[in-house]
Amino acid sequence: MTQSAGGPLGWDGPVDVDSAVPTEETWHNVSQADLEELLHTYDHERSEANRHEAAKEALGRMLKPWLQANPTEELHDDERGFRGYLQVRRGPKPYDLLAIWNKDRTLFERLLFTGCLSVNHKAVEAQGAQVAGMSRYSGPEPVTYSLQVVKK
């Protein structure tokens, strides 16, 4: 991303914003006015990113099915030097916790007390009445902050 001439933070021409962004050690040297000038740029870049992501997803919906239907094939654009193919991705191995509980209680307890086991909040909500007592064991939910930039 580049900022045009006369932009905030003393930019006097096109600047690579990635290299101009203050570090954690120097951000406090940036004035509130400079930061406020960045709000519209942030909003514009977010909109562009969303537009590009939607276009990429639409193109992927055309490419991926063909590659899935032709698993031994690749797509080649030799003129521009591109190759399209499906890359195998593997998720984490699933564990049969019920089998561990039934066959090796010591291992199950070790997993529990070392923090290896956690409860899936969405699964608890989906089970409803079957796990109704869970709420009395819940702690405070973690808090994070999401930057919101909106047009007034």
Q: Are 30 and 9 spatial neighbours (Cβ–Cβ below 8 Å)? A: yes
Across the range 19-25, mean pLDDT stands at 68
d(CA 57, CA 92): 25
What is the model's pLDDT at position 116?
A: 93
What is the model's pLDDT at position 7?
A: 52
What pTM value is reported for the model?
0.57
- Exposed (0-12), middle (13-18) or buried (19+): which is 102, by Cβ within 10 Å? exposed
What is the model's pLDDT at position 149?
A: 87
Q: Confidence class of residue 8 from pLDDT cuts 50, 70 and 90?
A: low
d(CA 69, CA 54): 23
What is the model's pLDDT at position 9?
A: 55
- Summarised one tens digit per residue, pLDDT across range 104-138 is 999 999 999 999 998 888 888 898 888 888 888 88
Positive/negative CA dihedral, 88, 92, 96, 100: positive
